Amino acid sequence: MSEAVTTERKASKTKQATPDLGAATAAWTRGPTTEIFRILLLAKMLDRLNTRILQESAGLSLAEWRMMGQLIIESPASVRQLAEWSWVDRAEVSRAAASLEARGLVERQENPRDRRSPLFFFTAEGKAVAERVLPLRRAFLSSLTAKLTKAQREALDEALLVIAQECAGKLNDGDNSAANES
């Protein structure tokens, strides 16, 4: 790393007061000073908050809510579709589906296009739970950016989109190289 970059990072760090992030403060201030590291740390913090809120409000796990959230958008859907849409593995969706089905929140039906891959959809009770949780989730998510100005929210959205596009490109490159090796 060049001396100019090191000096710039030190100057940047000294301009900002040490944030109060509880247990995450040490990682934020002493960990790598890259934006991506901080995004990953923030993602873990969000997972913990989401898990707590979902458990307290509806007795749901994060994986179960991810599945329900996707079914709000499009239903019925297969495990493969739900996994692709949420960027999680199929096993996580299968476990969530089994749990939600056992609790009577989703049902499965035969998939006319692929009998090995059932389609899942909400039961009346599952739809009621989703409709109760969704406004709570929207309020929570809005509260996270409430202190940002409109310009800051727009800049954040633009920056995250650039990073997401870069990740998608690298994932697609990996998928293409794996396909070429087969």
Would you write out the chain's pLDDT as a tens digit for each of its 182 residues? 444 434 444 444 445 677 777 766 666 667 666 788 889 989 999 999 999 999 999 999 999 999 999 999 999 999 999 999 988 999 999 999 999 999 999 999 998 888 889 999 999 999 999 999 999 999 999 999 999 999 999 999 999 999 999 998 988 876 655 445 54
Structural domain includes residue 151: no
Q: Is 167 helix (H, G, I), strand (E, B) or coil?
A: helix
Task: Please choose, from the candidates 25, 119, 109, the residue with its C-alpha nearest in 3D space to the C-alpha of residue 75.
Answer: 119
Domain span at residue 45 reads 34-141
- Give the number of other Cβ atoms within 10 Å of residue 68's Cβ: 26
CATH code of 39's domain: 1.10.10.10
Predicted pLDDT at 12: 47
Structural domain includes residue 77: yes
Predicted pLDDT at 154: 96
Structural domain includes residue 149: no
The total number of structural domains in the chain stands at: 1
- CA atoms of 17 and 46, how far apart (whole Å): 22
Q: Write out the two tokens for 166.
A: 């870069």
The per-residue DSSP string of 35-104 comes to HHHHHHHHHHHHHHHHHHHHHHHHS--HHHHHHHHHHHHS-SEEHHHHHHHHT--HHHHHHHHHHHHHTT
Long-range contacts of 21-27 (CB under 8 A, 24+ apart): 21/45
Structural domain includes residue 55: yes
Structural domain includes residue 27: no
Predicted pLDDT at 182: 47
Task: Please choose, from the candidates 37, 42, 101, 116, the residue with its C-alpha nearest in 3D space to the C-alpha of residue 71.
Answer: 101
**CA torsion angle 128 138 44 99 (round to 10):** 10
Structural domain includes residue 71: yes
Structural domain includes residue 57: yes
State phi, psi for 2 to the nearest 5 degrees: -70, 160
Predicted pLDDT at 20: 77
